[in-house]
Amino acid sequence: MTTGIVYDDIYLEHRIGTHVESHFRLIEIMDFLKSNKIFENPNFKLIKPRLASLDQIKYVHEESLINEVREISDLAEKTARIQSLDMDTSVSSKTYEASLYSVGGNLQAIDEILSGNIQNGFALVRPPGHHSNSFRCAGFCIFNNIAIGAEYLFREKNVKKVAIIDWDCHHGNGTQDIFYHGSKSKEGQLIIFNSHQDGRTLYPGSGFIGETGSGKGEGKIINYPMPPNAADDAIIIYFDEIISPILSEFKPEFILISAGFDTHWTDELTNMGWTIQGPANYLKRIKKVAEEYANDRILITLEGGYQIDKQARAVYNCLRVLNNEEENLILEKSRSSEQALLDYLNKKLIPALKDKLSSYWNCF
């Protein structure tokens, strides 16, 4: 099997000064992968992105938002100064172009997977996307890469069932907003699993268990707000108790993952307790579901992660899992959640979540 890695230097051209979502995030990842000879391994294939079309961006974004990003990028070029879309989200002269390639990198990877050129893939792209909704960019994000990827699968690739799994420490509110009423495509069925630090303690302040979707999307938005300091064991509880039974019932044809690595216990923007092997161990379980129902078709796209050396190692670990090389993970000392936190998850949060979902899913 072959795992694809999407990358291009265009992603470094979204340069926004001393911002935490800087181009150094990708430089660190690529340097680490090169130093560990990933690109010399024939089981990994470098995928060059393409430009997404404006029609594809419009699958989930209003034309006014697209125009705003383009115009502010043009202003940044004319003034030779970084501009702002909001208090968190900055734009440079190359942001618009990089954003089209960020989306296009995901679309190219989908094509490569569906054509059989690669088995699965990891899109090392930026700017990230999961906080942006149909009409507003936010939270360091420009175009919503994962949402457009899902619509692309429905509208151009005849895929009927897609699961999105978002493990960024910040709730993927943009993706949730876009799909709260389901996909706009006629036959596409989408389910979203969001795990994140409790919105009462972290931006963007959303992602509670009562947010379950409506209309066509009713019961297909599933949020798992973890208390601060939740370690690797907290996400395994979510998978075993909620994700696995629902996916066994849903039977996705393709799995898309919004992968933020700001869950690491050292990340300065968050308060989670994961290790560098935490995302990979989670991915092992997701991969088993993909093997059973989706012909092992997984595409991961990069979202957040700001302790860049830890992020690089966590990405490396996920690539090894994608390529069935679980024995080659880089490990740090394991961490466990406090018993009181585990009791809250097992005795309160998970039962409450099952109760919310029981009218939508036979598995509860």
Segment 233-274, tens digit of pLDDT: 999 999 999 999 999 999 999 999 999 999 999 999 999 999
297, two tokens: 């078709």
Confidence of residue 182 (pLDDT cuts 50, 70, 90): very high
Q: Where are the domains of the chain?
A: 3-357
**What's the mean pLDDT in 219-246?**
98
Any alpha helices (H) in the chain, and if so which ranges? 24-35, 54-57, 63-79, 95-114, 145-156, 173-179, 232-238, 244-250, 278-293, 308-322, 339-344, 350-357
Give me the pLDDT at residue 187, please.
Answer: 87
Annotated active-site positions, please?
131
**What's the gap between Cα 21 and its chain centre?**
15
Q: Given pLDDT bands bounded at 50, 70 and 90, which one contains residue 155? A: very high
Backbone angles phi, psi at 134, to 5 degrees: -65, -30
Pairing of strands 3-6, 161-166: unpaired
Name every residue whose Cβ is closer than 8 Å to that of residue 288 and which is 6 or more positions away in sequence.
Answer: none
- In this structure, are residues 118 and 96 in contact, taking their beta carbons and an 8 Å threshold? no
Each residue of 316-359: pLDDT tens digit?
A: 999 999 999 999 999 999 999 999 999 999 999 999 999 999 99
204 band by pLDDT with thresholds 50, 70 and 90: very high
Mean pLDDT of 44-64: 98
Q: What is residue 120's predicted lDDT score, i.e. its pLDDT?
A: 98
pLDDT of residue 308: 97
Mean per-residue pLDDT over the chain, rounded: 97
The encoded tokens of residue 270 equal: 């968050």
pLDDT at 1 over 90: no
* Band of pLDDT at residue 114, cut at 50, 70 and 90: very high
Nearest to 138 by CA among 147, 146, 129: 129
Instruction: Work out the pLDDT band at 215, boundaries 50, 70, 90.
Output: very high
* Contact indicator for 85, 68 with CB cutoff of 8 Å: yes
Domain topology for 3-357: Arginase; Chain A (3.40.800)
- pLDDT for residue 186: 86
Q: What is the pLDDT of residue 363?
A: 96
pLDDT band at 193 (very low <50, low <70, confident <90, very high): very high
Split at pLDDT 50, 70, 90, the class of 362 is very high
Q: What is the pLDDT of residue 88?
A: 93
| Model pTM above 0.75 | yes
